[in-house]
Chain A
Amino acid sequence: MSMPRLDSDDEVEALPADIAKKARALLMSLVRPHLAMLAFLAVIVVLTAALLVIGPVFIADALDTGVPAAIDGDLDPLLRAVTLFVLSAVASAILAFTSTRLVGITAQKILFTLRERVFTHVQRLDLGYHEKSTSGRLVSRQTSDMESVQQFLSYSLFETALAVLQMLFIAVTLLVLDVPLAIVVFAGFVPLFFITKAAHSTQRSAYRRTRTSIAKVIVHFVETMGGIRAVQAYRRQPERRGTLSDQDSRYRDANTDALRGVAWFAGWTRLIGNITQTVIIVIGAWLVIEGWTQIGVLAAFILYLRRFYGPLDELVQAFNLYQSASAALEKIAAVLDAEPAVAEPDRPVRLPAQSGAAGGTGSGRSLDLAGVRFAYGDGPDVLPRFDLQVPAGQIVALVGATGAGKSTLVKLVTRFYDPTEGRVGIDGVDLRDLEDAELRSSVVMVTQESFLFAGTIADNIRIGNPGASDEAVVAAATAVGLDGYIRRLPEGYATDVKKRGGRLSSGQRQLVSFARVFLADPDVVVLDEATAHLDIPSERLVQNALATVLEGRTAIIIAHRLSTVEIADRVLVMESGRIIEDGTPDELISGTGKFAQLHQAWRDSLV
């Protein structure tokens, strides 16, 4: 027996070298569909920035010329200035109103797209990926990382543009006012450039640490709450608390570092702005005293200077939100970058039309495993090279000790994994050439774990066939012996599985899984230990129902209780990844092989 050798979560977590580039590309691809909207927003930005500069001019005009004129009896200049001021204020308000809405809507649309993209991609990823990843880690991508992106999109995109534009307007004004003084101001940008560069690298690494550490916290949280029964029964609370506080203290430190990085960045920026201002006053004073510059120019210069550096705070804030968001986007991009090992075909082939020859209620399809070998990665063979043909309509029981490779074999048939070598065919079509949707409607597997999704019991049964009518759902539940129980629930089939009285035992959950198969109406049914939690009468009931349903269909059944064999046409005994016996139940039972022994042991275990 062999095991998949898996990477630890840290290795899965390790980001490819060019992830920053991929994150930027992801951001671009998200923004691209909204370019028209962004262009429109850019116009609003220009108008808003212009009004921010012009508004004060009107009120200054009202004070400088309007009021004196009014005192002299001429109200017109004052009225005009005040009216213009009010109009500009109303226009500003309308622009703010529009931009807030549009930014909000655009940001949410982008987030929505990103959430959906991540969700569908994660669904596409193969089981191998999911087995080495944890649900908590993927959850953190969709929650905490998404939140970082949202913060940036909602609060920074517009503000950044506005700040840059405002600075640009003022820079031009400064140049027009006085070139030498303007050059002093721009000289301040040299240290700013280096500070920003330094901040870029420290903040990037701090935010990456925040993202990584919060993901670990989430993983731990999800695992603890999911396993709360064991946590409580084995008194693990102190230890769990300890792990949380270890992981959370790493998050806390990373977060503190990131916030302190902002403190340094913001502090330096402000310091440079303020020093520049002092230098301007000194040089300006000197220039004025020497007679090279007008005093009014200096006054205006100093006034604008303050407003020139004002938006820098916004930019610092935006810069940090951007850093945080891009650290998050890197994580998200890494998930989107993972390619499913079990890929959709480029040119899908359709399954041949049903011949109908199989008869019965369903119609089976033949399975053909030719020269198949399977190993996890470069590991040892789990299934050494073998061939297996299952004709349409045959019911095969797969028997052997735990770890003999039974589950692996059915995972190849259901294409949860692709074989390392050889091909798995259904009615002559390689599974790799089938579209996932077609494969899944044709081959369905029920496993030992029966997971219920939030929603009603009917919804959960309907997973087998979302389009099924209420009658079909009831019929499926009746067939597996679940109907009576469901009808006694407070709201019958509409009972929420997580709420009032909807708690199902593990046996009942397995019955739900079976009911799903009844609805799904597949060509090939694979049952992997699907009756383990049932009591014997329930198992019999299910099996009888199955016998009817499976008639004409192809089926592979794994079960430790050999009662399954009673409905099988053929038995395969596996050991260490090899099929060691193959025959009809009667042949094998009457033989002297492994199955004869197993069957005898099983007979003895019965009463």
Chain B
Amino acid sequence: MRPLFRFWPDLRSRIGVYILVLVLTLLANGIQLVVPIITGHIIDGPIAHRDLSGLWLPVLGVLLIGIAEAVGMWARRMIVAPVVSHWEVTWRSRLFDRLQYTSVAIHDSWESGQLLSRAVNDLSQLRRFFAFGLPFLLSTPIVLAVGTVMLVLMQPVFGLIMIIMAVPAIIAVAVFEKHYRETSRRSQDTMGEVTTDVEESIQGIRILKSFGRSPWAAERFSEISTRLKSLEIRKAKLDSWLWSVLLLLPTLAQAAIVAVGTWGVIQGWTTIGTVVAAVTISMVLRMPIEMLGFLLADALMALTAAGRYWEVIDIRHDITDADGGVDDAPEVGHYRGKLRFDDVDFSFADTDRLTLQGLDLTIEPGQTLALVGATGSGKTTLASLVPRLQDVAAGTVSIDGVDIRDMPVNELRHLVSVSFEDPILFSTSVAENVEMGAPGASEEEIWKALEIAAAKDFVSRLPDGLDTPVGEQGLALSGGQRQRLALARAVIGRPRILVLDDPLSAVDVDTEDRVQRALREILPDSTTLIIAHRPSTAALADVVAVLDEGRIAALGTHEELLESSKLYRELMGASASADSAHTQTDTTASVTEGGHS
């Protein structure tokens, strides 16, 4: 039950309202008992005595209670509605925020659908539980306790019968709880898998379509949703056991009360009136007992949902400011922009193999360094260390001698601007996507940045120019166009340090050349780390570093390296350019796949 108890602070902050809801729930239960008593009184009294004048007072009573009941019901729902709706939204915003600051490595280890199903399905389950399940779950035992006490006071033997009946009920509940909890967990996890699969099947639609693999995807989906179906059916089957037991036991208790009661009347230790009253009370108790089954199932689902929610909230943030938090807008100091990697090791959390090993590299302020290396040599990993999307395992990355881990994360990210190999655009206008790199930039500055990225022409031809919506919800841009918008975003802030991960792979050579020259002219002060595959890119850099086996294998200008490094010549295709590509099988041997990137 601990995951549910952890919502106590939220509950406490609205405890007044919530207690009112509980009281109204209890009253609603209580009124069910009172009205029959009054109506019985009316029939036995005024009506039996044909006394119209004596009728008005109790009738008024019934009317008032009736109105009170309706108003109470209305009020309970009116009060609880905004509270629980607000909670659901609050919890989602906490979950969202936790994830926003969770490091990329941890994000990569989660299936996306598992996060989404927590944010949506689990939280709406929790909302329902706190709105209805919990108040009834809390008030039902009180009603049962009061009823049992009444029975005991009336005749201890009848109370005893109810208590004996409770034993198998509790056993049934205990057995049910164990199985149901496990099934509910598996079912909710499977719901996450369904979500992931749906998401992938849509995001990967081009691949599925071009290979005609939609039937394959449908089969995969079918397998998961069959699993979900069986788990849900298993839940229904477990429900059916508990509910029928909870339906049967109170009626058996009633029969026992009648039988034992009759024996008692014969023996003389009780009266018929007491037996009738006891049966009436046990009748009233049947409803809450039957409901208990439903409430319990609901509570267990809520428990699972809560557990899944806390799993995310409990994710430890490993990339933070010194105080363990992340300041959204720290003060940004002045740096010249000397970027230095010093004896850097990097490995992914779940493997011992080092992707980067003892890597040393220095980029002087304003210098442009091209990083080249084979596919999978760790170039992207190296780039991701600079804005601390990942942290080094050993060694340091520093700017002007300051370890980047000693800076507030967002100060660092203010200094460092990145453009990724898979350009990420958000569902908003072109202008806003570019402006992200320099919030508050003028339109003029945006156009300037677009010009540097060779995106001005195509943007001005978009239907609404800068205001054209792009991203997943907007215009379908080509890969090269998206890359150039992402590049414009990276350069607009004239960042101290610019990290460009293969920023123009989908752009023709001509455009690439223009962009690179513009970058040098307009951002002469930015320290630039550019990941490159093409000789033209490398040739324009001040210095080129070759990444191999997790360390810098060679460093120098393009021309120097062409002279001195066999590996570099191979990477640049130099040894092959003279011959025809058809015969170039000898270069393949040297393609190194040193690790992840």
Q: Is B577 located at the chain interface by the 8 A CB criterion? A: yes
Q: Is A351 an interface residue (CB 8 A)?
A: no
Q: Which residues of B contact A199 (CB under 8 A)?
A: none
Residue of A nearest to B576 (CB): A540
Do A3 and B587 touch across chains, with their CB atoms under 8 A apart? no
Known: A119-B221, A139-B199, A252-B88. 12 other contacts (CB 8 A): A67-B272, A94-B244, A119-B225, A131-B476, A228-B100, A270-B70, A285-B52, A401-B508, A402-B506, A440-B210, A505-B597, A605-B534
CB B155 to nearest CB in A, in angstroms, measures 14
Tell me if A464 counts as interface (CB < 8 A to partner B): yes
Asked, given contacts A228-B104, A237-B97, A501-B596, whether A92 binds B247 with beta carbons under 8 Å apart, the answer is: yes
Question: Quick check: B104 and A229 within 8 Å, CB to CB?
Answer: yes
Question: In the complex where A86-B251, A299-B43 touch, is A248 in contact with B89 (Cβ < 8 A)?
Answer: yes
When distances are taken between beta carbons in the complex, the residues of chain B under 8 Å from A414 are: 210
Interface string of B164-180 (1 = CB under 8 A from A): 00000000000000000
Is A5 on the interface with B (CB-CB < 8 A)? yes
The number of residue pairs between A and B whose CB atoms lie closer than 8 Å in the complex comes to: 582
User: Is B376 among interface residues, defined by CB-CB distance under 8 A?
Assistant: yes
Q: Which of B4-12, B133-141, B348-356, B399-407 contacts A (4 or more CB under 8 A)?
A: B348-356
A569 interface residue per 8 A CB criterion: no
On whether the beta carbons of A139 and B198 are closer than 8 Å, the reply is yes
Residues of A within 8 A of B111 (CB): 454, 498
Max chain B Cβ within 10 angstroms of own Cβ: one of A132, A228, A436: A228
Query: A538 contacts B374, CB within 8 Å?
Result: yes
**Could you tell me if A533 and B100 are in contact, using CB atoms closer than 8 angstroms?**
no
Hey, what's the 0/1 contact readout for B20-54 against A, CB within 8 Å counting as 1? 00000000000000011001001100111010100
Chain B residues lying within 8 Å of A127, measured Cβ to Cβ, are 205-206, 209
CA distance A260 to B73 in the complex (A): 11
Q: Is A537 a contact of B194 with CB atoms below 8 Å?
A: no
List, in ascending order, chain A residues with CB within 8 A of B209's CB: 127, 416, 440
B218 cross-chain contacts in A, Cβ below 8 A: 116, 119-120, 123
Question: What residues of chain B lie closer than 8 Å to A485, measured between beta carbons?
Answer: 376, 593
Q: Is the CB of B236 within 8 A of A104?
A: yes
Asked if B16 lies at the interface with its beta carbon under 8 angstroms from chain A, I say no
Residues of A near B197 (CB, < 8 A) are: 454
Interface size class of A (residues with CB under 8 A): 35 or more
Instruction: Report yes or no: B239 in contact with A274, Cβ–Cβ below 8 A.
Output: no
Contact B389 A259 (CB under 8 A): no
A560 on the B face (CB < 8 A): yes
Check if A566 sits within 8 Å of B582, measured CB to CB: yes
- With a cutoff of 8 Å between Cβ atoms, the chain A residues found around residue B198 in the complex are 119, 138-139, 142-143
B413 cross-chain contacts in A, Cβ below 8 A:
232-235
Tell whether A306 is near chain B: CB-to-CB under 8 Å. Answer: yes
CA distance A62 to B585 in the complex (A): 97
* A453 / chain B contacts, CB cutoff of 8 Å: 200, 204
CB of A439 within 8 Å of the partner chain: yes
B417 CB contacts on chain A under 8 angstroms: 233-234
Which residues of A have CB within 8 Å of B576?
536, 540
Establish whether residues A225 and B99, one from each chain, have CB atoms under 8 Å apart when the complex forms. Answer: yes
Known interface pairs A278-B59, A537-B570; A598-B222 also in contact (CB < 8 Å): no
Q: How far is the CB of B79 from chain A (nearest CB, A)?
A: 9
Cβ of B261 within 8 Å of any chain A Cβ, yes or no, is yes
A235 to chain B minimum Cβ distance, whole angstroms, is: 5
Cβ of A29 under 8 Å from chain B: no
Residue on A with the closest CB to B438?
A: A234
Q: Is the interface of B mostly helix, strand, loop or mixed?
A: helix
Q: Which residues of chain B have C-beta atoms less than 8 A from A55's C-beta?
A: 251
B534 touches A223 (CB 8 A): no
How close is A352's CB to chain B, nearest CB, in angstroms?
Answer: 19
CB atoms of B194 and A252 under 8 A apart: no
Question: By the criterion CB–CB under 8 Å, are A606 and B251 in contact?
Answer: no
Instruction: Scan residues 445-483 of chain A and give those whose CB is less than 8 A from a CB of chain B.
Output: 445-451, 453-454, 463-464, 466, 481-482
1/0 contact trace for A124-168 toward B, CB 8 Å? Answer: 100100111011101110111001000000100000000000000
Interface of chain B residues 520 through 579 with chain A (CB within 8 A)? 533-536, 539, 558, 562, 569-574, 576-577
The verdict on A44 contacting chain B, using a C-beta distance below 8 Å, is: no
The 10 closest A-B pairs by CB, nearest first: A440-B212, A104-B236, A274-B66, A267-B74, A507-B375, A263-B77, A89-B251, A259-B81, A605-B536, A271-B70
Residues on A with beta carbons closer than 8 Å to the beta carbon of B570: 536-537
Residue B472 at the chain A interface, CB threshold 8 Å: yes
Q: In the complex, which of the residues A144, A223, A441 contacts B426, with contact meaning CB atoms closer than 8 Å?
A: A223
Q: Is the CB of A503 within 8 A of B191?
A: no
Q: Scoring B residues 229 to 267 as 1 if CB is less than 8 Å from chain A, else 0, what string do you get? A: 100110111011101110110011011001101100110
Q: In chain B, residues 346-391, which have Cβ atoms closer than 8 Å to a Cβ of chain A?
A: 348, 350-351, 353, 372-376, 379-380, 384, 387, 389
CB distance from B80 to the nearest CB of A (A): 8
Contacts known (A135-B199, A241-B100); A67 close to B376, Cβ less than 8 A:
no
- Kindly state whether residue A103 has any CB partner on chain B within 8 Å: yes
A454 in contact with B116 given A67-B265, A223-B472, A535-B373 (CB within 8 Å): no
The answer to whether A537 and B89 touch across the interface, beta carbons within 8 angstroms, is no
Q: Is A420 an interface residue (CB 8 A)?
A: no
> Once the chains bind, are A93 and B247 in contact (CB under 8 Å)?
yes
Which one of B145-153, B445-453, B478-486 is at the A interface? Answer: B478-486
- Closest beta carbon of chain A to B429's beta carbon, Å: 11
Contacts of A445 in B (CB 8 A): 206, 210
| 14 A-B contact pairs sorted by A residue (CB < 8 Å) | A3-B475, A70-B265, A134-B427, A135-B472, A228-B99, A232-B389, A241-B96, A266-B73, A444-B210, A453-B200, A485-B376, A503-B108, A534-B533, A560-B506
Within 8 A of A (CB), among B447-493: 458, 461-463, 469, 471-481, 489
A403–B476 Cα distance when bound, in Å, is: 12
**B121 beta carbon closer than 8 Å to chain A:** yes
Q: Is the CB of B236 within 8 A of A105?
A: yes
Kindly state the separation between the CA atoms of A175 and B36 in the bound complex, as whole angstroms. 22
How far is it, in angstroms, between the C-alpha of A270 and the C-alpha of B64 when the chains are bound?
13
Is B235 within 8 A of A302, CB to CB?
A: no
A506:B422 contact, CB within 8 angstroms: yes
Please state if B100 and A224 are interface contacts (CB–CB under 8 Å): yes
Residues on A with C-beta less than 8 A from B190 are none
Residue A347 CB within 8 A of the other chain: no
Does B143 reach chain A (CB closer than 8 Å)?
no
Q: Contacts of A499 on B, CB cut-off 8 Å? A: 109, 350
- Residues of A within 8 Å of B101, CB to CB, are 232, 237
**Cross-interface CB contact of B474 among A6, A282, A451, cutoff 8 Å:** A6
Task: Return the CB mask of A535-546 against B: 1 if under 8 Å, else 0.
Answer: 111101101100
Given contacts A67-B258, A123-B208, A440-B211, whether A241 and B562 have CB atoms under 8 Å apart is no
Query: Chain A 313-347, CB within 8 Å of chain B: the 1/0 string?
Result: 00000000000000000000000000000000000
Q: Tell me the A480-511 residues at the B interface (CB within 8 Å).
A: 481-482, 484-485, 488, 490, 498-501, 503-508, 511
| Contact status A537-B573, CB under 8 Å | yes
The interface residues of chain B lying within 8 Å CB-to-CB of A454 are: 111, 196-197, 200
B581 within 8 A of A: yes
* A214 within 8 Å of B (CB atoms): yes
Residues of chain B with a CB closer than 8 A to A289's CB = 47, 50, 52
User: In the complex the two chains form, is B507's CB within 8 Å of A560's CB?
Assistant: yes
The segment from A16-24, A107-115, A363-371, A423-431 that touches chain B is: A107-115
CB-based nearest A residue for B454: A402
Q: Knowing A85-B254, A544-B585, A566-B581, say if A100 contacts B243 (CB, 8 Å).
A: yes
In the assembly, what is the distance between CA of A520 and CA of B262, in Å? 82
How far, in whole Å, are A499 and B108 apart by their CA atoms in the complex? 8
Q: How far is the CA of A436 from the CA of B211 in the complex (A)?
A: 10
Are B81 and A234 within 8 A (Cβ)? Answer: no
Answer yes or no: A90 CB below 8 A from chain B CBs: yes
Query: Do B511 and A402 have beta carbons less than 8 Å apart?
Result: yes
Closest to A244 in B: B96
Which one, A264, A295, A566, contacts B48 given CB within 8 A? A295
With A and B bound together, what is the CA distance between A86 and B254 in angstroms? Answer: 9
Q: B378's closest neighbor in chain A, by CB?
A: A505
A221 at the interface (CB under 8 A from B): yes
